[in-house]
Amino acid sequence: MQRNVTLNILLMSLLLNGLTACTQSVSEHRLPTINTPAQFSGYAHWHMVSEPTTATPAWWQAFKDDTLNQLVETLTINNATLQASEAQYRAAVATLIGSQASQVPTLSATASANNGTIATSNSFSSSSLPTNSNYALNASVSWELDLWGRIRQTVQSNEAKAQASLADLYAARLSSQALLVQSYFQLRNTDLQIDIVNTSIAAYHRFVRLTQARQQAGVVSSLDVAQAKTQYHTTQAQLLDLQEQRARYQHAIATLLGQAASGFTISKRNEDSALIPALPTLVPSTLLLNRPDIIASERRVAAANAQIGVAQSAFFPTINLVGSAGYRNTEISNLVNVPNTIWSLGPSLAFSLFDGGLREANVKIAEAGLDQATATYKQTVLNAFQEVEDNLSSIALLHEEAQVQQQALDAAMQAHRIAQSQYRTGISSALNVISAQTAELSAQRTQKSIQLRQQLASLVLLKNTGGELSHLP
């Protein structure tokens, strides 16, 4: 027995020393190279770059709206999409823990007891066979030697996938927050539009009464009255359309908050409290660290790289160290005793001799997966750069557009006043007044639409810099 033990130990030593030298080396993960500009060109429109502002993780607070802050807090807790992403992340972490378990030995224990008969040459019937009892208590340990890096690469791949899942969770949270803020701004802007239209409806109603009085006095014809009523009722229809839009925005916000739309309301605000915050300065290189979608894409590149090592390790044998020890006896009272000891110790080796090209195919699949993940990463970065540039340009141009639109509104209001004055003195027709009123209403609504677009562009830019996920554990 001693000789067998010595041979086993010698065999294990040869395996460890000889095969370790053949340990597979997998290429180190390197971040795909992407040429980034020194700064975003959109900042050239702004002088405030010399005094940059720093975006906080609570980026929506830059709009200084208490109602909005409360809604975002509720969203973070109750949103069903975020709950699904969080559950997906927990599953990824559990997968990682499961793969890490393969790095340590597996210990198991068994206990058995059985009764049976043994036939002999003197036995004539089963009833006369002697009964034999056996009792056993056994513990075994098994440990796979990770000589080729299969387990290590699997752990690295699952770790990168878990990190990508965490980044996905942050990306889903940012996306849901941005969608909520967008819906909230659209709702508030709709309230402003409703106020403008309500004011116009009241003015148009007064004009209808004026034309009716002038018709009764024989100053104008029924055509003026019909034109005034057309404008009045058309604007009423616009009000109903705006109210329908507001209801949709409110329902969308309720769904984002995980609430039933029928029992959720946001009170109307009378004043125009829309705020366009200062631009945060964002350096292109830091965008790679701040955007969760970029981080998730990069981590998937790392996972795909490690998966190649897992596929390559299939070309090498699987080596396990297996040992067991225990007791076996026919009497349970005397089971745990030195003479009843049984044990075994030795390596086991499994190697696939022929698989019809399966392993080569798996390596090619893993390599293609790496190429796909790398291309996706590059495209994600380029999309992020474009999104920032788009919104920087939009903010700059919308700022100028708002100033020009204010001039147009001032001119429309003046034209309206002149037309009304001329109509009262009989110099101008009702059609001129109606055209001036329509132009003024359109200018007012366009001004509020530009204001909404400014807010939405600022919202997207702040979202790009507002993620608190700058690195992964």
Contact in structure between 190 and 249 (CB atoms under 8 Å): yes
Of the candidates 400, 457, 465, 384, which has an alpha carbon nearest to the alpha carbon of residue 45?
400
The Cβ-side half-sphere exposure at 442, using a 13 Å CA radius, reads 11
What letter would DSSP give residue 416? H
Contact in structure between 415 and 68 (CB atoms under 8 Å): no
Q: What is the pLDDT at residue 436?
A: 93
Q: Is 277 helix (H, G, I), strand (E, B) or coil?
A: coil
Q: Is 438 helix (H, G, I), strand (E, B) or coil?
A: helix
The Cβ-side half-sphere exposure at 383, using a 13 Å CA radius, reads 10
Q: What is the pLDDT at residue 227?
A: 92
Q: What is the pLDDT at residue 46?
A: 45
Residues with Cβ < 8 Å from 228, sequence gap 6 or more? 204, 207, 208, 210, 211, 430, 434
Which parts of the chain have pLDDT scores under 70? 1-30, 32, 36-57, 116-131, 270, 280-289, 466-473
What letter would DSSP give residue 280? B
**Domains of the chain and any CATH numbers:** 31-104+149-317+358-466 (1.20.1600.10)
For the chain, percent helix, then strand, then coil, each to nearest 5? Answer: 65, 10, 20
Q: What is the pLDDT at residue 301?
A: 92
Contact in structure between 330 and 264 (CB atoms under 8 Å): no
Q: Render pLDDT for 343-367 as a digit per residue (tens, 0 to 9).
A: 787 777 787 888 888 889 989 999 9
Rounded distance between C-alpha atoms, residue 105 and residue 19, angstroms: 20
Rounded distance between C-alpha atoms, residue 275 and residue 281, angstroms: 18
Give the angle 165-170-172 at the CA atoms, nearest 5°.
90
Q: Render pLDDT for 19-46 as a digit per residue (tens, 0 to 9).
A: 444 444 455 666 767 776 666 665 554 4
Rounded distance between C-alpha atoms, residue 260 and residue 376, angstroms: 37
